[in-house]
Amino acid sequence: MQNPRTYSKEVEQTVISSAMNQSTPTQICAILGLCGIDRVNFISDITNSSHPLGKAYNEALKEGIGDVDSMLHLSALKGDIDAIICIEKKKEKDYESELRFNLFGL
């Protein structure tokens, strides 16, 4: 088995902070100024869930989503109507997605 490509700490930190802000792999490429074969290799690695960079990206994405949900709930508890509406819309969307998956496998 081939050793995975490695990246500098600065690149890893950029990936993590960008993922927490919900940036896509192509957006992160633009932030890093990658092009050509470097861009292709980077996208291949970041979208590979078994590559260390892909694992870090996916974990940071989830953590970022969790932070947003936490802030929404805190705002809703303080009486922020917009936060309450947003939470309810998210619940509806999640229910629809679950129903679609259960009925149609989509």
pLDDT in tens, 17-76: 999 988 999 999 999 999 999 999 999 999 999 999 999 999 999 988 888 888 888 899
Residue scoring higher pLDDT (21 or 11) = 11
Per-residue pLDDT, averaged over 71-90, amounts to 91
C-alpha 22/C-alpha 24 separation (Å) is 7
Rounded Cα distance, 47 and 25, in Å: 8
**Contact criterion met (CB below 8 Å) for 4 and 52:** yes
Per residue in 60-88, is it b (16+ CB within 10 Å) or e — as a string?
bbeebeeeeeeebeebbeeeeeebeebbe
Residue 12 neighbours by CB distance under 10 Å:
16
- The single residue listed with the structure tokens 């960079």 is 53
* pTM of the predicted protein model: 0.66
